[in-house]
Amino acid sequence: MSHSNNADPTGTYAIVAEFTSAEALLTAAEQTADAGYREIDAYTPFPVHGLSDALRFHDIKVPWLIFTGGLCGAFFGFTLQWYTAAVDYPLSVGGKPFNSLPSFFPVTFECTILFSALTAFVCMFGLNGLPKPYHSIFNTPGFQRASIDRFFLAIEVKDPKFDEKETKAFLEGLGAVAVSEVEH
């Protein structure tokens, strides 16, 4: 399988390297990204500081979606209060104006937070493809230790630079304990 950009759903999913320490994984991830691989992922039993930077993972979709959700919440909260107080049921209390901006701030703020949180929750599930009870990475030999004491680095077949023999040799050269080909 040489330079396959479209992963075959019945064939190889990735080449996966297993490491014994977070430091070894972090070094390997940096070297892998420096070598030009882009479709890489790491699996660890605990968060590893700097790993997302080493993998060059920079996803800006979630913050912008949350910001947009917050703006929608602020607009909704303010508009609802304005409509009920100034249009639908105007009630003069102590001669105050119907459209009293200071009194609208607490609900507007709370709606902003609520909509931001709900947007984050829904978008994280949607963008992560959850729920996902099965993933090809689970076929990796010894992968059950990824939640205990082992660290895994995967280079997927859909990577433009992927070449089965070269990629396997590259990962072996990084000091991996084991390198395995993972099927779908």
- pLDDT of residue 7 exceeding 70, the answer is no
The residues near 150 (Cβ < 8 Å, ≥ 6 apart) are 18, 19, 20, 45, 142, 177
Least confident of 5-9, 92-96, 143-147: 5-9
Q: What is the CA radius of gyration of the chain?
A: 25
Report the chain's mean pLDDT, rounded to a whole number: 92
Mean pLDDT of 40-60: 94
- pLDDT of residue 182 exceeding 70, the answer is yes
Nearest residue to 184 (alpha-carbon basis) of 4, 8, 42: 8
Nearest residue to 58 (alpha-carbon basis) of 26, 33, 22, 35: 33
Locate the domains of the chain by residue range.
12-59+142-183, 61-127
- pLDDT of residue 4 exceeding 80, the answer is no
pLDDT in tens, 138-174: 999 999 999 999 999 999 999 999 999 999 999 999 9
pLDDT for 10 equals: 63
Reported as a pLDDT band with limits 50, 70 and 90, residue 8 is: low
- pLDDT of residue 137 exceeding 50, the answer is yes
Least confident of 3-12, 53-62, 113-122: 3-12
pLDDT for 9 equals: 61
Give 163's strand partners.
2
- pLDDT of residue 2 exceeding 80, the answer is no
DSSP state at residue 20:
S
The residue ranking higher by pLDDT, 10 or 78, is: 78
CATH value of 12-59+142-183 in 2.60.40, 1.10.8, 3.30.70, 3.30.530: 3.30.70
pLDDT for 5 equals: 47
